[in-house]
Structures are given as structure tokens and as C-alpha cells.
Amino acid sequence: MTDSPVTGIDHLVLYATDVEATCEFYADTLGVAERETFGDDRIALSFGTTKLNLHPAGDVDVLHATDPAPGSADFCLVVDEAVERLGQRFEDAGVAVVEGPVTRTGARGSMRSIYVRDPDGNLVEFARYDD
């Protein structure tokens, strides 16, 4: 392991076809984040000490990736609830679990994961580290 000055992820940016639909999915349907307005009426979804900043796809007024396309992200969110229970809650809300529960290896070791897709098709992993 190198002696890296990086200690974690502060935020990720998602390019959303419909920012409101994305907020509703994560905050209302899944219940895993809180909507936050910051800066010049920008929108983010916050949880713990991390957030997802939401940018409208095609918005040219903000600094962004070279080709900011909706549905181009895969990311993992660490949870403190059994993923089996979380998966059932998602399915009860009408959200299909794409895969899982399965055992995976994360940055800190073995974890149990489930996967869903958000309204733009981004693959979102919800993982709980094994005790």
C-alpha cells in the first residue's frame, strides 16, 4: 500500500435526465438520502458524510466530464442495514433488485451487496461490510 494522502470520497456527480425524478428515487422511493440545495440552487443527495451532486445531463454551464451522459456511473454506497432487509424494502417500493444479495470484496474487505438501477440506468450497489 502506498502512503496516499487520500482518505475517502467526499462526493460523486450524477448526470440526470430528470433531476427531480432522481431525487424522488433516492430520497422518497429508496429512502437512502436527503435532498439538499446548495450554491446557486444546485441539488445534491446527502447521506452520512458523503453526497451525490446532481447535474442535468447536457448542462453546459458547469464544469463537467468530457462526455457527461446519464446512466454512465456504477458506484457503491455502504449501508448499516442488512442488505437482505434493504432489498426487500426496495422491492416493496417497486424497485427491482438487479443482483444479490451476493458476497463481494470492497475497499475494506468482505461485504454483502445488492444492486439496483436508478431512473437513468446507473448501477448502484448497496453494501454492508461483514462483521
Supply the residues annotated as catalytic.
125
- The x, y and z cell numbers of residue 30, run together, are 429508496
- Could you tell me how many residues make up the chain? 131
Cα 21 to chain centroid, rounded:
14
Nearest to 84 by CA among 68, 100, 61, 73: 100
Integer distance in angstroms from the first to the last C-alpha of the chain? 23
